[in-house]
Structure 1
Amino acid sequence: MRVAQVIDSLEAGGAERMAVNYANSLSRKIDFSGLISTRKEGVLKEQLYKEVPYFFLERNKTIDILAIFRLRKYLKTNQIDILHTHGSSFFIAVFVKLTMPAIKIVWHDHYGTRIKETKQQNKVLISLSIFFSSIFVVNPKLEEWSRKHMKCSRVTFIPNFANVDIREQTTKLKGDEGKRIVFLANLKNPKNHILILKTFRDLKLNDLGWSLHLIGKNYSDDYSNTIKSFINTNSLEHSVYLYGVRNDIGYILSQASIGVLSSTEEGFPVALLEYGEKGLAVVSTNAGYCSKIIEHGFNGLLFDPLSDSQVKLQLSALINNESYRKGLGKKLKETILKNYAEDIVINKIISEYQKIKK
């Protein structure tokens, strides 16, 4: 079995991280596991295992004939059977399939907001889905959407998995040990950072010695400017910190006690898996697949991302009770290892690959 993951960029993001995770993990299980970035490279390139063949396609326009032929040559040279495409990278894969009909295309949908979009917004995707051999989705709602709209009958829910490496230890978090809250998410909609910032301010957590650490790409736009302005206006510069993109996520999480997520829309957030793998207590939005990972009161706490009062209540419960925090973190770690371990998910992926090769 010879498979290449295809993603449009290697900048830090959920779909991008999973493409790298799949390429890395499959390299130990199948004959060939490569990764192709079509448009942009990025920090995640550094997380690829050295044994994973990597190819940068340098595609620079929607229909890039030269890029199509470069991809075709790469597939033939490496005798690729399956293109596992993530997000919008399906587009160039379909053009290559027109010249290489034997290639199988798997399309992987990570985009939780898609369920609120119209068929018109996805007309190109729906039309080209006739060329897909299989569709993977990251939550049951996306599965329902694909079964209803797409022209590929094989649709499978594949949970994400965490693969947190602590070999790199670069980022030292500020603030007091045991009182650090971390928020893994790029600074953009619908991650809803402002809700956590307001909660941090209203609960006066800085006066209690707590600190908040925002890890994710800063796009230097209105969204990130609003965050910076809020921090400055409320004199939180010495308790709320922005770090930008970081590669040593495992090390960062090892320094924190609480992980938060407040998105108004979600697919299957890798951040929750990473929090759990490192034993953090979690306060999470109930959007997307979050409420399937987090069982409220058992291995974490959930809130409605449109309710200021709910998030304050749940975060307060963790802040005020250290033993409760540690107990929830322990239970979440057990949940992740039991249900979302790397081997479980990868074996399911390989099984699906085998089905479409028949």
Structure 2
Amino acid sequence: MTRILHVFSTFAVGGPQIRFAQLANALSGQYRHTIISLDGASQAMSRLATDVQAEFLPMPTLKAMSLPQRLHAIHRTLSHHQSDILMTYNWGAIEWAFCNRLLHLCRGIHWEDGFSPDEASQLYRRRNLFRRHALSGQTQVVVPSHTLMAIARQHWQIPAQRLHYFPNGIAMPEAISKGAPSALTTLITLASLRAEKNLHRLIDTFASQATHSRLLIGGDGPMLTELEAYIDSLNLTNSVRLVGRIDDVWGFLAQGDIFCLSSDTEQMPLSVLEAMAAALPVVATDVGDVKTIVAAENTPFVVPPAHYASAFRRILSEPRHWQAIGEANYQKACQHYSFQNMLENFTRLTAPIR
């Protein structure tokens, strides 16, 4: 059984954590997982099936330490656990990849899913340089988008033989049962309540463009209290609802007429794939690969942030096209973003080297 040590900056519920849980659940019995969350959050552990061999490893806070002290603590942990593979996720875990590369303790696989708000508009030169060093040697680098592939080649100088395009995939629902049609158009989103999701943009756009509609926001996160106060300040409590954590994704999406994405930064969001699988049209900011993910019929509604309100207004004015756009999204999700492909990619990536 392959032993994998996973290092996340957080193990709160988010895209990378959900993807990991789905893979671990589907491949139960083949891997033994140890999970480190650098901020101590562990909510995504609840997404793991009971038969998955996984342990959550508490870690002392490393931020207050100097870099040499942190690397020493990382070295001690890596040496103690003697895993077959170290999987690190995004910038928050890059020092673990760096330490493992220096000491050659085990195989290293680094996942980059996108950027935090401070890198959403520009890449930092010092981070690019550190990534080049940390991800050199034999470290394999995995990205879910063509946008990140280009960045990894150009800015991080990852050679083709160590760079893997690993698109997200989803298990398609057997059927989604829509309720009775509502007099109100229902706009819906699934997102971690974090700054880079820019849910203020979505709420503002809804308030200005979507009269006689309602907005359902699924997900939880650190901005919950702030968003509750913001919705209250705009007197939108009757039309905008923060639903909280969503366990039944398909049941939640079945309530929607249009899926909304308002993020400042994304690469290949699972939420958009899920919306496509639910046969919903999508109005979204043009970030990462979103415009290439959706069906051609949907691309006019994936726009730069400055044009988000106009795209919102335009899609709301064309209800006769929603079903056709949603069906085209469903067909593309079936053809290109299967969960089976994602499983095969993961199995190939972690196979023993002969």
**Is TM > 0.5 for Structure 1 vs Structure 2?**
yes
Query: Do the aligned partners of residues 21 and 35 (structure 1) sit closer, same or farther apart at CA in structure 2, a change above 3 Å counting?
Result: farther
1:170 counterpart residue number? none
**Does the CA contact (< 8 Å) of 1:26 and 1:33 recur in 2?**
no
Tell me the amino acid that sits aligned with residue 51 of structure 2.
Answer: E
Provide the secondary structure at the position in 1 that maps to 2:279: coil
**Does the CA contact (< 8 Å) of 2:276 and 2:294 recur in 1?**
no
Is 2:347 the counterpart of 1:350? yes
1:120 counterpart residue number? 126
Is 2:93 the counterpart of 1:89? yes
Q: 1 CA distance for matches of 2:215 and 2:314? A: 16
Tell me the amino acid that sits aligned with residue 104 of structure 1.
Answer: R
Q: 1 CA distance for matches of 2:339 and 2:15? A: 16
**Unaligned ranges ≥5, structure 1:** 167-172
Q: 2 CA distance for matches of 1:357 and 1:151? A: 24
**Does the CA contact (< 8 Å) of 1:159 and 1:345 recur in 2?**
yes
**Does the CA contact (< 8 Å) of 1:304 and 1:310 recur in 2?**
no
Give the total of aligned pairs.
Answer: 334
Cα distance, 1:311 vs structure 2:
2.4
2:35 counterpart residue number? 36
Query: Do the aligned partners of residues 69 and 50 (structure 1) sit closer, same or farther apart at CA in structure 2, a change above 3 Å counting?
Result: farther
1:74 counterpart residue number? 81
Cα distance, 1:181 vs structure 2:
1.6
**Does the CA contact (< 8 Å) of 1:82 and 1:105 recur in 2?**
yes
Tell me the amino acid that sits aligned with residue 353 of structure 2.
Answer: K
1:2 counterpart residue number? 2
Tell me the amino acid that sits aligned with residue 105 of structure 1.
Answer: G
Is 2:113 the counterpart of 1:110? yes
Q: 1 CA distance for matches of 2:37 and 2:187? A: 35
Query: Do the aligned partners of residues 257 and 33 (structure 1) sit closer, same or farther apart at CA in structure 2, a change above 3 Å counting?
Result: farther
Tell me the amino acid that sits aligned with residue 81 of structure 2.
Answer: Y
Cα distance, 1:147 vs structure 2:
1.6
TM-score when scaled to structure 2? 0.81
Q: 1 CA distance for matches of 2:49 and 2:15? A: 18
Cα distance, 1:119 vs structure 2:
2.1
Q: 1:204-230, CA deviations, whole angstroms, 9 ceiling, x for partnerless residues?
A: 42xx3x210112334248xx63x4455
Query: Do the aligned partners of residues 273 and 47 (structure 1) sit closer, same or farther apart at CA in structure 2, a change above 3 Å counting?
Result: same
Q: How does 1:1-358 map to 2 (within 5 A)?
A: 2=2, 4=4, 5-27=6-28, 31-39=30-38, 40-62=40-62, 63=70, 68-75=75-82, 80-87=83-90, 88-95=92-99, 101=104, 103-112=106-115, 113=119, 116-150=122-156, 152-153=158-159, 154-163=162-171, 176=182, 179-205=185-211, 208=212, 210-220=213-223, 225=226, 227-298=227-298, 301-318=301-318, 320-321=319-320, 324-354=321-351, 357-358=353-354
Provide the secondary structure at the position in 1 that maps to 2:305: coil
**Does the CA contact (< 8 Å) of 1:268 and 1:288 recur in 2?**
yes
Query: Do the aligned partners of residues 55 and 216 (structure 1) sit closer, same or farther apart at CA in structure 2, a change above 3 Å counting?
Result: same
Query: Do the aligned partners of residues 295 and 50 (structure 1) sit closer, same or farther apart at CA in structure 2, a change above 3 Å counting?
Result: same
Query: Do the aligned partners of residues 20 and 291 (structure 1) sit closer, same or farther apart at CA in structure 2, a change above 3 Å counting?
Result: same
Higher mean C-alpha deviation, range 113-122 or range 333-342: 113-122
Query: Do the aligned partners of residues 95 and 234 (structure 1) sit closer, same or farther apart at CA in structure 2, a change above 3 Å counting?
Result: closer
Cα distance, 1:93 vs structure 2:
4.8
Tell me the amino acid that sits aligned with residue 339 of structure 1.
Answer: H
**Does the CA contact (< 8 Å) of 1:276 and 1:336 recur in 2?**
yes
Identity level (%)? 19
Query: Do the aligned partners of residues 242 and 60 (structure 1) sit closer, same or farther apart at CA in structure 2, a change above 3 Å counting?
Result: same
**Does the CA contact (< 8 Å) of 1:94 and 1:128 recur in 2?**
yes
**Does the CA contact (< 8 Å) of 1:23 and 1:35 recur in 2?**
no
Higher mean C-alpha deviation, range 32-41 or range 48-57: 32-41
Tell me the amino acid that sits aligned with residue 349 of structure 1.
Answer: F
Q: 2 CA distance for matches of 1:317 and 1:35? A: 50
Q: 2 CA distance for matches of 1:314 and 1:6? A: 43
Q: 1:276-333, CA deviations, whole angstroms, 9 ceiling, x for partnerless residues?
A: 1222222122211101111342588322222244223333145x33xx2222222212
Q: 2 CA distance for matches of 1:35 and 1:256? A: 37
Q: 1:25-56, CA deviations, whole angstroms, 9 ceiling, x for partnerless residues?
A: 3337xx32525133324322111122222122
TM-score when scaled to structure 1? 0.80
Cα distance, 1:250 vs structure 2:
3.1
Q: 1 CA distance for matches of 2:110 and 2:129? A: 15
Higher mean C-alpha deviation, range 238-247 or range 285-294: 238-247
Higher mean C-alpha deviation, range 331-340 or range 7-16: 7-16
**Does the CA contact (< 8 Å) of 1:294 and 1:301 recur in 2?**
no
Provide the secondary structure at the position in 1 that maps to 2:216: strand
